[in-house]
Copies of this chain bind each other. A is one copy, B any other.
Amino acid sequence: MLLMIPGPVQLHERIIRAMARQMIGHRTADFSEILAFCVDVLKEVFGTSGDICLISGSGTAGMEAAIASFSNVKKIATIENGKFGERLGEIASRYTEVERLQFPWGESVDLDAVKRAFDNGCEAIAFVHNETSTGILNPAKEIARIAKEYDALVIMDAITSAGGDYVKMDEWGVDVAIVGSQKCLGAPPGLAAVAVTDRAWDCYNENCPYYLDLAAYRKKLKDMQTPYTPAVPLFFALAEALKIIKEEGLENRIQRHRILSAAVRKWAVEAGLELFPNLNEYSSYSNTVTAIKMPEGISDGELRGALRKEYGILISGGQGDLKGKIFRIGTMGNVGKFETVSTLAALEDILSRKKLINPALEYAQILLRDLP
């Protein structure tokens, strides 16, 4: 099965092989060397000189670690224009007062509302950079800029952007950011990296969950260890995935993600389909996952079922209320032009048979032509 979902992504053969190793002790120099390498490359991926805390757990664990550890604020604002934004609000509600800035899923963020939240006393903001559920890229730089006018803490979910799109924490003024292993980094699921700058510790909450207490992770970083037993095989895999990123070069990788998603969008538009996000001057389409409205005349089960059964390709449907209304194609991690063309060709075949679209594969192919 070819995975074209927005994570877990297809693994490079080298990463699969990297996991096929006997265990090592996690309090050994061998493990520390692996961890140090991961920390080093992740700093580049996040664009920060801050600490990198590696948690054995999903991206959600990373988000909760970030919010809970730095929840010593009077009030936090959460931006919610999709499923993962809403999750931020739910998590934050367990720790402090929250002003939930709710927009319909797929709508762009209203920056005036962000400003008003700070005027209303919010001392921190948490938001999703790349909202996977809707295929929208929220304006991280602008949100951080506004927050910094109020000296507020900025927590950014970069779970599906870091490694595949620009994330420049230090330059933008993002204090805490999170990435998941199984998205643009191209590793298997099960690890979350939280990048933490010094500013964040002003808001440290010592009553956060024990397992997700980033102070414990930071302390153990001095010995290049983790506070609790790490998921060793996933570290083998992540190190190999990051080695591949180094070889490709972060800038090349980001350009590849941009071209792949542009090709998907170009195909969709030329085929007569409609992209789901409703953009404004600050937002943009995601460069790692594309959300397309389900055309009339075919159901989600028919479309994705045929893709799976006839072609062995897995894409995602809509989540929550968007179930049946959109489908989503991930172009993340180690996905290349062949996988992307195959997916679009298969979709085109299924949708053309029902005369629901105009053939448009060539438009995508033109964009992909020069991709290595």
Q: Chain A: residues with CB nearer than 8 A to chain B?
A: 1, 3, 5, 7-11, 16-17, 19-26, 28, 55-61, 64, 68, 87, 90-91, 94, 180, 182, 188-191, 207-212, 228-234, 237, 314
Contacts and interface: CB of A to CB of B under 8 A. Distances in A.
A31 to B, nearest CB: 10
Given A1-B24, A94-B209, A209-B209, A190 B230 contact: yes
Contacts of A22: 10-11, 16
Given A57-B57, A212-B211, A5 B25 contact: yes
- Majority DSSP secondary structure for residues of A touching B: loop
Contacts of A64: 209-211
B188 A233 contact: yes
Contact of A182 (B5, B8, B229): B229
Copies of this polypeptide in the complex: 2
A229 B1 contact: no
A68 B208 CA distance: 11
B59 A57 contact: no
B1 A190 contact: no
Contacts of A16: 20-22
A230 B189 contact: yes
Contacts of A55: 57
A144 to B, nearest CB: 24
Nearest to A183: B229
A57 B55 CA distance: 8
Nearest to A182: B229
A209 B68 contact: yes
B8 A190 contact: no
Contacts of A57: 55-57, 61, 211
Nearest to A87: B210
Nearest to A206: B94
Contacts of A56: 56-58, 61, 189-190, 231
